[in-house]
């Protein structure tokens, strides 16, 4: 039986960093669901398909292969046998990914891929609808949040480190637009699951958030062990 930790929350809430650190510490397979949505957005761009051409995007799903691999201890994502880890963080992908993720057929296809990846494994998965939709029976559910300003500040710093050229104003505008779109989705909307634990990381360090989540996972494991 697998043990599943779901980390949901808006863009820039620290999900990525925290998920990676908790996963490494507890030896959990790390699945970044947002990266998979970004792959579909990238493929749309590369095939020069317009965001309005929904049927073409849906058809494209038939010949897309997404794999989560571990290389030198790092999680890497492959799209059709190519490592696209850096490419999917670029501005053109970020600008259309929320709209791509609103297409329900895209969600259904990716949810199947996520569930297959998790089969029989202990995983930690980050996204928007993991605790509400992908794994409603996850063992631990966290909703990680932070103020839009703090999230934009973090993303700005991350982008600078990666050489991605986006101003703070562009980032905060994109974050607010994505939040709105992600929260209003017909399926898989960004929202806190009723049984999720809310953590506001605005005034917390990464280490503090990691400690808190590890503690919550330990408590849950002890409960399962006692049953």
What is the contact surface with ligand DC in residues (CB under 6 A)? 11, 33-34, 37-38, 97-98, 101, 127-130, 178, 182, 188
Q: Considering the complex, what minimum distance in angstroms separates the CB of residue 123 from ligand DC?
A: 14
198 phi/psi in degrees, rounded to 5: -90, 125
Nearer to ligand DC, 114 or 210 (CB): 114
Structural contact between residues 66 and 77, judged by C-beta atoms closer than 8 angstroms: yes
Q: Considering the complex, what minimum distance in angstroms separates the CB of residue 10 from ligand DC?
A: 8
Q: Considering the complex, what minimum distance in angstroms separates the CB of residue 223 from ligand DC?
A: 26
37 phi/psi in degrees, rounded to 5: -60, -35
Q: What are the structure tokens assigned to 82, written together?
A: 């190519």
**β-strand 140-145 against 4-8: which pairing, if any?**
parallel
- The rounded Cα 23 to chain-centroid distance in angstroms is 14
Nearer to ligand DC, 28 or 190 (CB): 190
Q: Considering the complex, what minimum distance in angstroms separates the CB of residue 37 from ligand DC?
A: 4
Nearer to ligand DC, 131 or 216 (CB): 131
For 124, the enclosing helix (H) or strand (E) is strand 123-127
Nearer to ligand DC, 49 or 221 (CB): 49
CA distance 37 to 80: 14
Nearer to ligand DC, 186 or 222 (CB): 186
Structural contact between residues 39 and 66, judged by C-beta atoms closer than 8 angstroms: yes
**β-strand 123-127 against 82-83: which pairing, if any?**
unpaired
Q: Considering the complex, what minimum distance in angstroms separates the CB of residue 180 from ligand DC?
A: 11
By residue count, the chain amounts to 227
Q: Considering the complex, what minimum distance in angstroms separates the CB of residue 214 from ligand DC?
A: 21
Nearer to ligand DC, 128 or 212 (CB): 128
Q: What are the structure tokens assigned to 100, written together?
A: 């791509």
Q: Which of 8, 106, 122, 124 is nearest to 56 (CA)?
A: 106
């Amino acid at each position: 039986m697998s043990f599943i930790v779901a980390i949901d929350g808006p863009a820039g809430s620290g999900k990525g960093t925290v998920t990676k650190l908790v996963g490494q510490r507890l030896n959990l397979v790390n699945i970044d669901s947002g990266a998979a949505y970004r792959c579909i957005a990238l493929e749309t761009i590369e095939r020069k398909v317009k965001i309005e051409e929904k049927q073409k995007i849906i058809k494209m799903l038939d010949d897309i292969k997404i794999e989560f691999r571990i290389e030198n201890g790092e999680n890497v994502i492959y799209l059709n046998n190519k490592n696209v880890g850096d490419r999917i963080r670029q501005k053109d992908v970020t600008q259309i990914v929320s709209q791509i993720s609103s297409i329900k057929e895209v969600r259904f296809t990716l949810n199947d891929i996520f569930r297959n990846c998790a089969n029989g494994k202990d995983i930690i998965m980050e996204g928007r609808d993991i605790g509400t939709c992908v794994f409603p029976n996850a063992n631990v559910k966290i909703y990680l949040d932070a103020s839009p300003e703090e999230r934009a500040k973090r993303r700005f710093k991350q982008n600078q480190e990666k050489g991605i050229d986006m101003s703070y104003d562009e980032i905060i505008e994109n974050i607010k637009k994505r939040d709105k779109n992600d929260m209003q989705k017909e399926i898989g909307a960004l929202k806190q699951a009723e049984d999720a634990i809310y953590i506001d990381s605005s005034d917390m360090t990464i280490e503090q958030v990691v400690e808190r989540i590890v503690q919550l996972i330990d408590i849950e494991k002890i409960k399962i062990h006692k049953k």
